[in-house]
Amino acid sequence: MGTRKLLACVVVGAVLACMLAACSDAALFGLIKSKSKAKAAPRQSLIVFPFDKDSESAANVPDEFGKDVAEVLRTTLANSKGYAVMLYKERLMPIQRALADNAVKEQETKSPYFTDKPKADRLADILATDYYLIGSVESYTYDKDKKAVDLALKADLVLTKTGKVMQEFMVGGSAAAGAQAMEEDELRSIAAGKAVEALGEKILSTSSADTKPTAQPKPKPKK
C-alpha cells in the first residue's frame, strides 16, 4: 500500500509540474494577458516663446506683456497629458552653451520671435524640443469712457524637426469694469486671461492625449 501511495503522489506531482510549466510558457509568450495597464504614451516637448506685439495695433501694450502671456499659457498647459511644456528664457543652459560656443549671437536669442521664424526655428533646434509655439498680441484697445479692454492673440504651433506650422490660432479676450472701480491694467489682465484660456483649449485639442473621445450615439432598436 505504501508503494502505491508513493507512486500516486509522484504522478500527481508530475501533473502539477506540467501544469505550472504550461502556465509559465503561456505567460512568457503572451498567451495569458497581463492585467497591468498599458504604459502611457510619452509626452511631446513644447517650448513657448514670449509673445511679440504688433507695433501699430498693439502699441499701447506694455513691453513685458508678451512674456506674461507666455508664462500664463505655460501654466495653463502644465497639466497637459500630451505636451511637456517649458517657457523659453535666454538663460536656459543649452542657449547659454550655444552663446559660449559662438553658435549664436546674443541678439539672436532675443525677441522678436513671431516675426522672425528662422530665429525661433534655430533656438528650438538648440533646445531639442519636439514643438514650439510663437505668438503675437495682434490688437489691443482700451475704451476709457466705457472702461473696457479688448485684445486678440495670434499663435503658431510649429514642428521643430521640419519647421512646418502645424496649427494656426486666433483668439480674443475682453473685459469691462461695469459698475466696479477697475484700472486699465486690471482689465487687461482679465482680458488676457480669457484669451489665454481659449488658446490653451485649442492647443490641447491638437494633442490626441488631451482629446476626450466623443461619445458614440447608441443605435436605435429595429422595429
Per the listing, cell 509626452 goes with 43
Tell me: the pLDDT tens digits for 35-92? 445 566 688 999 999 999 999 999 999 999 999 999 999 999 998 999 999 999 999 9
Q: In whole angstroms, what is the distance from residue 170 CA to residue 174 CA?
A: 14
Helix, strand, coil percentages (3-state) for the chain, rounded to 5, are 40, 20, 40
Higher local confidence (pLDDT), 161 or 7: 161
Question: What are residue 14's phi and psi, to 5 degrees?
Answer: -65, -40
Are the C-beta atoms of 46 and 83 separated by less than 8 Å? yes
Which grid coordinates are listed for 38? 498599458
Are the C-beta atoms of 169 and 148 separated by less than 8 Å? no
Q: Is the pLDDT of residue 202 over 70?
A: yes
The residue length of the chain stands at 223
The DSSP line for 174-221 is: EEE-TTS---HHHHHHHHHHHHHHHHHHHHHTTSGGGPPPPPPPPPPP
212 class by beta-carbon count within 10 Å (0-12 exposed, 13-18 middle, 19+ buried): exposed
Confidence (pTM) = 0.76
CATH 3.30.9.10 matches 44-208? no
Are the C-beta atoms of 110 and 90 separated by less than 8 Å? yes
Q: In whole angstroms, what is the distance from residue 6 CA to residue 48 CA?
A: 75
Least confident of 53-57, 155-159, 181-185, 211-215: 211-215
Average pLDDT over every residue of 149-161? 97
Which grid coordinates are listed for 11? 504522478
Q: In whole angstroms, what is the distance from residue 158 CA to residue 132 CA?
A: 5
